[in-house]
Amino acid sequence: MNAPKAIWAFLIRDAVTEISYRLDFILKLFGMFFQIIVLYFASKLIGSHPSLDHYGGYLPFATIGLGVLSFFQTSFRSFAQAIRREQLMGTLEAMLMTPISVPAIVVGSSVWSLVWGTLSAAVYVGCASFLFDFALKGNLFYAALFLLMLTIFVGSLGVISASFTIVFKRGDPLGFFVGTLSALLGGAIFPVSLLPPWVQKISYLHPFTYGLDGLRSILLVGESFHSILQDFFVLFGCTAAMVPVSMYCFHRALRYAQREGSLLHY
């Protein structure tokens, strides 16, 4: 089986499994609507602020931020969770012995989570825009390009996280980096400009900041792609560097687990 067919088979398997749990599926959608309502009243409490007026207020600013952050974290966890699930089911070694390439297995095991994360972010932002009447102004193609770069970047981090899962089973130091630091330093909930100057310098070491800045500039301000090239190239450079690093780490983790005989341990 070639890689595209294998990835498609993984997607169909996981989609059918998830949708079969109808109550859980409905509760996830309800949770998104609840977050949007809470965010609306929070924006009323915060009111106007100079750092937010450029984006149309706190509600549009935070909607894009939390939608993308949720997608970011879902995509990141998907790889490690997929590996952990296969370990617990005792199917990881059998999968790795099939004639499917390792990258195809890695991507295929997580493709449903990536698709669901993308759809969730789109529904979250779209519903908030429709319910509370703020306009998405920019070019959706450029926004999709930024989201694609973020997907590949966070996917690379997720593969490294999966490498820790293979070797250590539990415990992932990247979880703190992706979760807490992205929310705190990436500008998802509040503008980076409100942070102390020395913390702002740290926040701009995190590629999530550039991806989120680019998406907000496109969707809320309507800026051209030319005006955000710096954000795009920084994100592209980080992504291009992380992909081979993540694949190297995953291969090393597999070799270590196979050598130690711990691949099926959980």
The DSSP result for 64-120, as a single string, is: HHHHHHHHHHHHHHHHHHHHHHHHHHT-HHHHHTSSS-HHHHHHHHHHHHHHHHHHH
Between CA 108 and CA 191 the distance in angstroms is 36
pLDDT tens digit sequence for 114-139: 788 788 888 888 888 887 877 788 78
Residue-level pLDDT at 94: 64
Tell me which residues of the chain have a pLDDT lower than 50.
Answer: none
Residue-level pLDDT at 166: 74
Q: Hey, where are the domains in the chain?
A: 3-12+20-260
Q: Which amino acid is at 259?
A: R
Residue-level pLDDT at 177: 67
Residue-level pLDDT at 46: 83
Residue-level pLDDT at 89: 67
Where do the H-state alpha helices sit in the chain?
A: 3-20, 22-46, 50-53, 58-89, 92-96, 102-132, 140-168, 174-176, 182-185, 197-203, 207-216, 229-260
Counting every residue, how long is the chain?
266
pLDDT tens digit sequence for 197-239: 888 888 888 888 898 899 898 988 888 888 888 999 999 999 9
Closest to 91 measured CA to CA, from 252, 264, 266, 265: 264
Residue-level pLDDT at 15: 80
**Residue 58 DSSP SS3:** helix
Angle among Cα 13, 15, 19 to the nearest 5 degrees reads 125
Q: Compute CA distances 241 → 153, 179, 187, 194, 230, whole Å.
A: 9, 21, 23, 30, 17
Over its C-alpha atoms, the chain yields an Rg (Å, rounded) of 19
**CB within 8 Å of 192: residues ≥ 6 apart:** 185, 186, 200, 203, 204, 209
Taken in order 9, 76, 136, 142, the sign of the CA dihedral is negative
